[in-house]
Structure 1
Amino acid sequence: MKGSTVVDLRQDEHGHWFALLSCGHTQHVRHDPP
């Protein structure tokens, strides 16, 4: 993913956010601290 940038943020069918990257891949964005 080096060199890729975030193009858009979307939610999946479960309501979890993920980033759409410029390379065409997706990356879930999770933050669940203790």
Structure 2
Amino acid sequence: MLKVIKSLPDNAIRPPMGAVPDSVQIARDSMKNG
């Protein structure tokens, strides 16, 4: 989670609570694609 936030500056600007669900959605999409 921390690594993803550091990689994406946009998430750093957004609130932590808002960044968590975004990362979760990305993880689900990556698992579906994989």
Using structure 1 for the length normalisation, give the TM-score.
0.20
Larger Rg: 1
Higher helix share: 2
Higher strand share: 1
